[in-house]
Amino acid sequence: MRVAMPLTRVLAKVAHIRTTIGWITLGALLAAFALGLLLSRELSRPLAGMSLVADRLAQGDYSARARGLPADDHGRLGDTLNRLGSEMTVKISELQRLENVRRDFVANVSHEIKTPLTSIKGYVETLLSGAINDPVHSIRFLEKIDRNAERLTSLV
């Protein structure tokens, strides 16, 4: 028994099958590309938000926080950024407090030193303007200068 078919019909069938396979392949590639694009956007969305938070932290806005974090590596990275912002806020508050303490200390020391220096300068000017020749006042002025110099020494 022999079955025969013209070669043109066979070639037409093969061409039709090739065209069908080509369209199916093209459709599958387009679907894979679209799915890959959607997945990559979904996976990179938390990173984009964390990048904005990191930029704000770098610019000194330590109140910036990452929100809506997934429970994966991205979420752990966001939690780390949030902790960094909180720690920086605490450290800056502590630095500001220390700066206020330093400023108050310098103001107090300046005042404490200025008072005896002003007194010493006044008595010396009085002595230089002629009171050095007055034995009663000159001894009293020199004693006050000595007391204020001792006060400065104890302050230092």
Which amino acid would we find at residue 79? D
Which pLDDT value is given to residue 155?
83
Question: Can you tell me the distance from the alpha carbon of 73 to that of 71, in angstroms, rounded to the nearest whole number?
Answer: 7
Query: Closest Cα partner for 80 from 53, 55, 59?
Result: 53
Structure tokens at 38: 């959607």
Is 62:85 a contact under the CB 8 Å cutoff? yes
DSSP type of residue 68: S
- The reported pLDDT for the residue numbered 44 is 82
Low-confidence ranges of the chain (pLDDT < 50): none
Provide the total of helices (H) and of strands (E) in the chain, helices listed first: 3, 0
The pLDDT, as a whole number, for residue 26 is 97
Place of tokens 């752990």: 76
**Which one-letter amino acid corresponds to residue 51?**
S
Task: Give residue-wise pLDDT tens across range 72-108.
Answer: 888 888 898 899 999 999 999 999 999 999 999 999 9
Show the tokens assigned to 57: 């932290």
Q: What is the distance between the alpha carbons of residues 107 and 156, in angstroms, rounded to a whole number?
A: 15
DSSP, residue by residue, 33-49: HHHHHHHHHHHHHHHHH
